[in-house]
A and B are shown apart, each in its own frame.
Chain A
């Protein structure tokens, strides 16, 4: 920090505003033990005094899948591009739950930690990171379950075929996490001042699922509406994930590239807003 240093070296200089445009990784590494404990706390505390415990992680998407098979598959008769319904809906639910879970947890960062944040300093980013990692754990468990289904279908010779794009899965998941966390921290910073944004977010995210190809493939969308879908950075993630594992779905690299740029920009915007907010939110909340 460029301050007028005399002969003394200060370890910490507090000034009115130090605009930080990125995450202070060095500070986060110093607090890595805290990060681990927070992740553990969130994981353990949710399932203490519950009967099913961590089984909830697989129970929820399974129930959703059955529901979607019934509503979208049997009643609305929306196609799945020839992919077995359980696999198609489970993959969609799993990805969407990860995105939504991350976003909903992160958007509440300042509100749910107001007591803690106003009493002790530690890198504020530890919280949204811990939330995201937790959602990722849930996702991993569900992903393993999906792989079990997947292998079953592969062996029985149903119309699923993996493509080389499967190698891109980690990038797709990372992108989904960045998008969820980026939007989440952006909203969390805005909701400290405008509490009614929370209501908006809760129902907007529910509606947003219907304009994202989660429960139906993009191929069922009429040509004239497709542009709208491509403007949604989530579309290529879902489509490419399905293409990688199931062999059907759009895999346009340019559109994916655009959505990647949008993701990184949103994440960066989230970080800047979050940093800006953390210095003053105690006075506002």
Chain B
């Protein structure tokens, strides 16, 4: 088997509540007080000093799993289970606190549709900008441009209009069309299908499935829509309170998740 993603003992810790006292001036006062062993002027009465107080929260606890080439992995879990944190680490947006992730091939991550779209620029300009932000080269976008426009079902006269005049549906379709044409080995997507109408959602699922089955691309997909997940994914993992509680075939995971929801 060809492992393309290996996640080993991954943990992510967040500091909760106020970070410092919120302003440099107060932090310096607290810090000076600490140095001179006086009382912190910003301590709440009867409370602890805010500086040095450690309120921590583990968003991910020791998560390990592997993904094989061509797999479509669904990641499920309730709100706050750590799904988005996991994807953020995989997409290099935030660093893990401990553990490691090893990846083979080019990663494209789609945590939001239309990231980097600028309202003043035209549809055409935004396709190029968004494509480049997602890691495409200009030549690649040149070649795929017509395909992208066709996929987005946008009338051709709109493509040279500033996107601030687009309807939200048009905006999302164009943005997703760019993402669907990313040439990557691994695609990471977070709840991106929640937008757009049912017909377009089906089209996107079809495109992702096709990319995986025919081009050997690997997909990591987070969604709350169990139906879409079962339609697209062959494998799944279930997260609960930051820990990996089950992994296996998507159907088993979906059952487990449904039970979890019913139980709570």
Contacts and interface: CB of A to CB of B under 8 A. Distances in A.
Interface in B90-120: 90-107, 109, 111-112, 115-116, 118, 120
Contacts of B243: none
B133 A117 contact: no
Contact of B102 (A13, A115, A119): A13
A164 to B, nearest CB: 42
B129 interface: yes
Interface in B1-31: 3, 6, 14-15, 19-20, 23-25, 27
Contacts of A16: 95-99
A196 B99 CA distance: 35
A122 B103 CA distance: 16
A159 B91 CA distance: 61
Interface in B129-159: 129, 132-138
Contact of A14 (B92, B115, B134): B92
B151 to A, nearest CB: 20
B50 interface: no
Interface in A10-44: 10-17, 31, 33-34, 36-38, 41, 44
Contacts of A197: 24
A15 B100 contact: yes
B141 to A, nearest CB: 8
Contact of B115 (A8, A41, A120): A120
Given A41-B121, A41-B129, A194-B27, A8 B116 contact: no
B215 to A, nearest CB: 18
Interface string A246-278: 000000000000000000000000000000000
Given A41-B125, A122-B135, A196-B25, A282 B94 contact: yes
Contacts of B115: 115-116, 119-120
A17 B98 CA distance: 9
A156 interface: no
A223 interface: no
Point out which of A31, A37, A282 has the most chain B C-beta atoms below 10 A from its C-beta: A37
Interface string A102-132: 0000000000000111111110000000000
A195 B23 contact: yes
A137 to B, nearest CB: 18
A52 to B, nearest CB: 17
A37 B129 contact: yes
A10 B104 contact: yes
Given A10-B6, A10-B103, A196-B25, 20 more contacts: A3-B100, A8-B104, A9-B104, A10-B104, A14-B96, A15-B96, A33-B136, A34-B129, A37-B132, A37-B138, A41-B125, A44-B121, A45-B118, A115-B115, A118-B88, A120-B116, A122-B133, A122-B135, A282-B93, A283-B15
16 contacts: A8-B3, A10-B102, A11-B104, A12-B92, A13-B103, A14-B100, A33-B136, A33-B137, A36-B138, A45-B121, A49-B120, A193-B20, A195-B23, A196-B24, A196-B25, A283-B15
Interface of A: 3, 8-17, 31, 33-34, 36-38, 41, 44-45, 48-49, 115-122, 193-197, 279-280, 282-284
The 8 closest A-B pairs by CB, nearest first: A34-B132, A194-B24, A121-B92, A14-B101, A279-B95, A33-B138, A10-B102, A12-B103
